[in-house]
Amino acid sequence: MKRILITGAAGFVGYHLASRLSVDATNQLTLVDNFVRGREDTDFATLLQHSNVTAVRADLTQPSAFEELGDGFDEVYHLAAIIGVSNVMERPYDVVRVNGLSVLHLLDWFRKGGGRKLLFSSTSEAYAWTQHFYPLPIPTPEDVPIALTEVRNPRSSYAGSKIFGELAVTHACISAGKPFVILRYHNVYGPRMGFEHVIPQLFERALTGQNPLVVYSANHRRAFCYIADAVDATIAAMQTEAADGETFNVGNENAEVTIGELAKMILTHVETQPEVEAQPAAHDPIIRRSPDISKARRVLGFMPATTLEEGLAKTIAWYRTRLLQAV
Ligand SMILES: NC(=O)c1ccc[n+]([C@@H]2O[C@H](COP(=O)([O-])OP(=O)(O)OC[C@H]3O[C@@H](n4cnc5c(N)ncnc54)[C@H](O)[C@@H]3O)[C@@H](O)[C@H]2O)c1
């Protein structure tokens, strides 16, 4: 029996990771969340019906939360965080506080025997400001220097908290002689990712007949990675010994499109055919972002298998059902 802890498991990535791992009856899963953003919906309730899955409601900014979990987990996936543009712009201190405290408390517990190996979820945002101010190769490999913009910019809160998390995990684990791995997820998408994301937002507005369809950041290029592929990489990173102590980009450089092109792909799934009205970015000055995933291919055997067309079709089918139920 393998004991696995997933923090932030009611959220998007955590839920899909837990669903995949729950299929193996030799995995004993403990799913922790405080449900500030994660959802106690029917999908999560269905996941909890597996006899090898237990949910714990806990606020990981409290050190006692970890003590109450017990210790001796074989695998610890730390996905809990405050994320999302509106949180980052409106509550930057909460972003810094929750993401900072939760990783520090986790590390204090982990180093004392809480778990054997730790996976930390970081982000493509770690590159955002270096890309903005300095010439970086795009697709971007993991070993480039990392910079922030001025500290007063609320957008620094999320990138800064994740860079801090990478530092804390790296040095806590090296000094304790414990295996860890860091993943920088790039624009992961799929069913049940919430509604604060460009794909469900564009789809909902197109479905409800907005005309013209307003598309912000239409000229920005992003590489979208389907959730099933991100879960493949996540599990491989945990299970591959050669990944210990390393940082990996997780994304799909073959699925890079402009947001305007993405909108046109989404429009192939609706009957209404509105005009597309391109608008400038509201908060995001980063024109192009794409991961170099050659290291993940080499070490983890990571092969993103889902094309953007296939992933969008699955995602939109899920959202279509939920949006029509809500009417
Ligand atoms: N989805 C992506 O494309 C993406 C990209 C880059 C990085 N990431 C990282 O991957 C991780 C998972 O992302 P996601 O998209 O699933 O986010 P999410 O918001 O869907 O999930 C995060 C979960 O953490 C929980 N949480 C927040 N504060 C908590 C606390 N104090 N105690 C306990 N639980 C708490 C939330 O309720 C939520 O369920 C995050 O760390 C995020 O930074 C995701």
- Grade residue 327 by pLDDT with cuts at 50, 70 and 90: low
Q: Is 229 a pocket residue for ligand 1 (Cβ < 6 Å)?
A: no
C-beta atoms surrounding 6 within 10 Å: 28
- Grade residue 30 by pLDDT with cuts at 50, 70 and 90: very high
Question: Helix %, strand %, coil % for the chain, to 5?
Answer: 45, 20, 35
* Selection from 169, 163, 194 nearest residue 244 by Cα: 169
* Selection from 203, 224, 188, 190 nearest residue 314 by Cα: 190
79-88, 267-276, 307-316: which range is least confident on average? 267-276
* The amino acid at 56: V
Test site for ligand 1: of 6, 7, 13, most ligand atoms within 8 A of the Cβ = 13
Test site for ligand 1: of 20, 32, 33, 106, most ligand atoms within 8 A of the Cβ = 33
Helix intervals (H) in 177-307: 198-207, 227-239, 259-267, 294-300
Per-residue model confidence (pLDDT) at position 78: 98
Does the predicted model carry a pTM greater than 0.85? yes
* Selection from 286, 225, 220, 287 nearest residue 250 by Cα: 225
What is the spatial distance between Cα 225 and Cα 217, in angstroms, rounded to a whole number? 19
Per-residue model confidence (pLDDT) at position 58: 97
What number does the ligand 1 atom closest to the CA of 101 have?
31
Helix intervals (H) in 116-213: 125-133, 155-176, 198-207
264 Cα–ligand 1 center, Å: 28
Q: Is 61 a pocket residue for ligand 1 (Cβ < 6 Å)?
A: yes
Q: At what angle do helices 155-176 and 92-109 cross, to 10 degrees?
A: 10
pLDDT tens profile 46-85: 999 999 999 999 999 999 999 999 999 999 999 999 999 8
